[in-house]
Structure 1
Amino acid sequence: MSGDLLRPGEFLRRTRLSAKALRLYAEQGLLVPDAVDPWTGHRGYAVAQVARARLIAALRRAGMPLARVRDVVDLEPGARRAAVARWWDGVEEDLRRRRDLVTALTAETEEDDVREVTLREVPGRTVLTAERRLTVDELDAFITGAGEEIDAHLARCGARPAGPLRVVYHGMVTEDGDGPVEVVRPFTGSVEPAGDLRIRLQHAGREAVTCLSRREAEFPGILRAYDAVGAWVDARGLERAGSPAEVYLSARDADPDEPHVEVAWPVSGPA
């Protein structure tokens, strides 16, 4: 082994890493020895690896996940700075959402915080859908991508959308819960399934529904809409007859006070 290489002890002193962290980064392929003596098994690290080790440690101290560190550590400095900035923007957005949620959970209930909920008939329709199990960090991209894929397939088949896009939550979507989530578009015309897209019949029935502006639909405000619909259903002796859905009436860049999304819950029971 070359005498220019650093032994593990010296490398740890220069980088101020712990032995545990060094083993972890080696297991992840982020910081492997520059050479390993085939006879003794002694590891050696190049002096240039000190800067890499310090960069990895700094990113980890900032809270960047190891998988994300792997994506950025080998980038050129300019690209790395841009990648770190994009990641941090996401962190700050996540913190904002968490702060808003904690504020909502700890705030006093306002007497006038009452939503109008109505009951409506839903006709039976044929729908094209895409369904996936995912966690909350994947949700927005899936909804956008699936909606575009569904509408593009309808256009290729010569079919036409016959109603707004629905996002049906068959299970809770959080950092721990993975749904599944189903993106649904009713249509008219003849369509064949393709890839992950499926065709099914949405049965006629009734649903309790409330409408939110884009401003009201911002997280965590939309959670209160689910609570309001559920409380309305319970107060009238109705039964939840399926999974709740969000029905999108306008684009995500719509005016903040424009009707944007409905929260709808299928119900059964007395009229």
Structure 2
Amino acid sequence: MDPDPDPLLTIGEFAARARLSPKALRLYDRLGLLAPAYVDGATGYRYYRTAQVEDARTVVLLRRLGMPLAEIAGVVGLDGERAALAVAAYWAGVEERHAEQRTLAGYLRGRLSGRGSAMHETYQKDFPIEIVDVPEQYVISETRHLLAEELPVWIDASTRRLEEAAEAECGGAAGAPLVIYHSDVTQDSDGPAEACVPVRDAAAARAWAQAAGRQRGVDSRVEPAHRLAFTRITKAQVSYPQILAAFQAVEDWASREGLTITGPCREIYFAEWETTGPDDEVCDVAFPVSR
């Protein structure tokens, strides 16, 4: 009889080959990451196959990547291609979080260093300001009182609802969606915020808003012509509270230029959120201004 081509290894032998401690192997077994091939019912001794060495090393590499054990359990249960896609998705999330933390660290450095010339130079470099004249627009909108942590989900959902309504019932969208903050939205202050989509057919928009019966704060209105001072920011910089640095930069610039802020601040989303990366420009942070 041919010998077993993949003989059982004791936990000590397997640990040496996999460059893991027996304690780590017992933890991985308990969490469902790497179960032994056989457990002796009488002694409780664990035995592994040599073919499992590669699985053990994969777990180690995923841990070095910083992946939580709960996520590793999902990855090791997948076939090769799906496992590779899962790792790619995890790392994309890590890079996005790091980009957000990088911009937040920059914002905090600016705040902590004071508001002298160094702060002014940082704002000039990081947030160049431009001016644009915006014509009168008719918009459909949705207004909600909510806190800062609720904003990302609400902005995405409300914008999608409004864009669908614009295309289906209001002659199509006539410009990029925007969010107007009529009062502070922070961790403690709930706004309100107003999501808007410019539309082509004002009469149809009025009929749509009336039929909606102002549900979910739905309305339609004229957004008057105005001049905007704005700075363009990346997807990573959109996250709260680092986005506050961009608003502060526009406010400070307007003050230095002798301009008066004439309306509430706003974010204008000109890029498709789902297809952009953390370092792609996606949003204009703006204030209406006049002399």
Q: Distance in 2 between matches of 1:122 and 1:226?
A: 19
Letter in 1 for 2:250: V
Among candidates 244, 261, 266, match of residue 283 of structure 2: 261
Q: Would you say the 8 A contact 1:127–1:199 is kept in 2?
A: yes
Corresponding position of 2:188: 176
Q: 1:237 to 1:107 in 2, by over 3 A?
A: closer
- TM-score when scaled to structure 2? 0.55
1:222 aligns with 2:243: yes
| Residue identity opposite 1:125 in structure 2 | Q
1:125 maps onto 2:128 in alignment: no
Residue of structure 2 equivalent to 1:213: 234
Counterpart pick for 1:106 among 112, 131, 134: 112
Letter in 2 for 1:198: D
Q: 1:105 to 1:206 in 2, by over 3 A?
A: same
User: Compared with structure 1, are the counterparts of its residues 158 and 236 closer, same or farther at alpha carbon in structure 2 (3 Å cutoff)?
Assistant: closer
Aligned 1:227-266 pairs, distance under 5 A: 227-253=248-274, 254-266=276-288
Give the unaligned 5+ runs of structure 2: 1-96
Note the alpha carbon deviations across 1:121-163, whole angstroms, 9 max, x for none.
0100100000011112322222112111111222331520111
Relative distance call for 1:112 and 1:142 in structure 2 (3 A) is closer
Question: How far 1:224 sits from its partner (Å)?
Answer: 1.2
Specify the code of the residue in structure 1 equivalent to 2:194: E
Q: Which amino acid is the alignment partner of residue 116 of structure 1? A: P
Separation in 1, partners of 2:170, 2:152: 27
Match of 1:34 in 2: none
CA deviation after TM superposition for structure 1 residue 258, in Å: 2.3
CA distance in 1, matches of 2:183, 2:253: 21
CA distance in 2, matches of 1:229, 1:119: 10
Instruction: Find the residue that maps to 2:236 and give its secondary structure.
Output: coil
Contact 1:150/1:197, CA 8 A, preserved across alignment: no
Partner of 1:151: 163
How has the CA–CA distance of structure 1 residues 214 and 107 changed in structure 2, closer, same or farther, with 3 Å as cutoff?
farther
Give identity over the alignment, percent: 28
In the superposition, relative to structure 1, how do residues 265 and 137 fare at CA in structure 2: closer, same or farther (>3 Å)?
same
Question: Across the two proteins, how many residue pairs are aligned to each other?
Answer: 179
Q: Give yes or no for contact 1:124–1:204 (8 Å, CA) kept in 2.
A: yes
Q: 1:143 to 1:267 in 2, by over 3 A?
A: same
Distance 1:186 1:172, change over 3 A: same
Note the C-alpha offset of 1:180. Answer: 0.6
Q: Please, which of 172, 175, 178 is the counterpart of residue 166 of structure 1?
A: 178
Q: Could you tell me which amino acid in structure 2 is paired with residue 145 of structure 1?
A: A
C-alpha distance in structure 1 between counterparts of 2:174 and 2:166, whole Å:
11
User: Is the 1:104–1:220 contact (alpha carbons within 8 Å) kept by the matching residues of 2?
Assistant: no
What is the identity, as a one-letter code, of the residue corresponding to 1:212?
I
Query: TM-score, with normalisation over the residues of structure 1?
Result: 0.58
Superposed counterparts of 1:57-76, under 5 Å: none
Q: The residue matched to 2:254 in structure 1 has which SS? A: helix
Task: Report the AA paired with residue 133 of structure 2.
Answer: E
**Contact preservation (8 Å) 1:168, 1:182:** yes
| 1:252 Cα deviation from its structure 2 partner | 2.7
Kindly tell me: are residues 259 and 265 of structure 1, through their superposed partners in 2, closer, same or farther at Cα, counting changes over 3 Å? same
In structure 2, what is the Cα distance between the partners aligned to 1:221 and 1:126? 31
Per the TM alignment, residue 226 of structure 1 is displaced from its structure 2 partner at its CA by: 0.7
